[in-house]
């Protein structure tokens, strides 16, 4: 039986969202969901069976994208990216990750409440609340998802805390072109029971060959964050969560990422990643 908080949450989004046709005009929001309240990595086998996917697990060179060129289009040329950045996205499993986190004091109490009541229980979107939570680093597993023709259509990236094995994020990564967009965005889906959270990130190349990914403010059907509920009638709502990733190579040749999550105009949490190719 669904947890009372989960039932309340889905009821809220059914009221706040709009009806969508995920098999028709709104198919750009069709994405994996979890069949159970505890998400972890269990959603992947269920979705693979339902969608006719095959899974390549544990490949040492598996990447979130088969090629960064999949994002090419007006205003974005992946050939301008630093080689290390391309390598990370195309061979993500070969990279180790260290993480640091810093929360806004204003937002931290609400974040801690959500983490305790929801994120840790469902093992999804469990952002580290304290710097020491990630002191021992994160482990990650990338599973390549292929269609019937053997082409990579997505990748599942599951990240856990090395100190206790607790799931932090479990997501599906792919490229998708929004209805009125002139080029693809990175499409990230975090499955939840009978729904999901989706983020569409618009890529750009910085002057020094870095990568910038943004989910900006905008209207329905544009880059940004969405909540989708697939229980009864399908509904979706755009939410005021905005993310920015800046992936770059520092002066010592180290690959790093600055990640900021904002609620409206308020900066909620900043994460910093140090990325190193495994020996």
**Domain ranges, residue 40:** 4-277
Model confidence over 44-78: pLDDT tens digits?
Answer: 999 999 999 999 987 889 999 999 999 999 999 99
pLDDT on residue 27? 96
Query: How many CA within 13 A on the CB side of residue 217?
Result: 5
Count CB-CB contacts under 10 A for residue 11.
12
How is 156-205 classified by DSSP, letter by letter? EEEEEETTT--EEEEEEEEEE--TT-SS-EEEEEEEEBTEEEEEEEEEEE
Domain count across the chain: 1
pLDDT on residue 2? 60
* % of the chain residues with pLDDT over 70: 99
Distance set, CA 163 to CA 94, 141, 168 (Å): 20, 16, 12
Q: Is 219 exposed, middle or buried (0-12, 13-18, 19+ CB in 10 A)?
A: exposed
Q: What's the whole-number mean pLDDT along residues 99-108? A: 92
Please say if the pLDDT value at position 180 is more than 90.
no
Is the CB of residue 248 less than 8 Å from the CB of residue 225? no
Q: What's the whole-number mean pLDDT along residues 138-146? A: 91
């Amino acid at each position: 039986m669904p947890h009372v908080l989960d039932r309340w949450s889905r009821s809220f989004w059914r009221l706040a969202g709009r009806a969508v046709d995920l098999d028709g005009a709104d198919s750009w929001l069709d994405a994996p969901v979890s069949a159970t309240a505890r998400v972890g990595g269990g959603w992947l086998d269920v979705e693979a069976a339902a969608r006719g996917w095959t899974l390549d697990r544990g490949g040492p060179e598996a990447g979130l994208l088969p090629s960064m060129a999949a994002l090419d289009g007006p205003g974005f040329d992946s050939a301008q990216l630093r080689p290390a950045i391309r390598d990370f996205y195309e061979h993500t499993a070969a990279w180790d990750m260290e993480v640091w986190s810093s929360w806004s004091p204003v937002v931290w109490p609400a974040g801690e409440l959500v983490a305790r009541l929801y994120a840790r229980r469902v093992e999804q979107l469990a952002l580290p609340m304290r710097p020491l939570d990630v002191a021992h680093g994160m482990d990650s597993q990338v599973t390549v998802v292929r269609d019937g023709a053997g082409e990579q259509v997505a990748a599942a990236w599951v990240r856990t805390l090395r100190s206790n094995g607790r799931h932090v994020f479990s997501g599906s990564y792919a490229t998708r072109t929004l209805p009125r967009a002139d080029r693809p965005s990175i499409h990230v889906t975090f499955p939840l029971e009978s729904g999901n959270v989706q983020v569409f990130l618009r890529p750009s190349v910085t002057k020094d060959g870095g990568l910038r990914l943004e989910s900006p403010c905008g209207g329905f059907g544009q880059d940004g964050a969405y909540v989708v509920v697939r229980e009864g009638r399908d509904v979706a709502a755009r939410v005021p969560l905005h993310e920015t990733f800046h992936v770059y190579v520092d002066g010592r040749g180290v690959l790093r990422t600055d990640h900021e999550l904002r609620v409206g105009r308020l900066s909620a949490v900043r994460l910093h990643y140090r990325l190193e190719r495994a020996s």
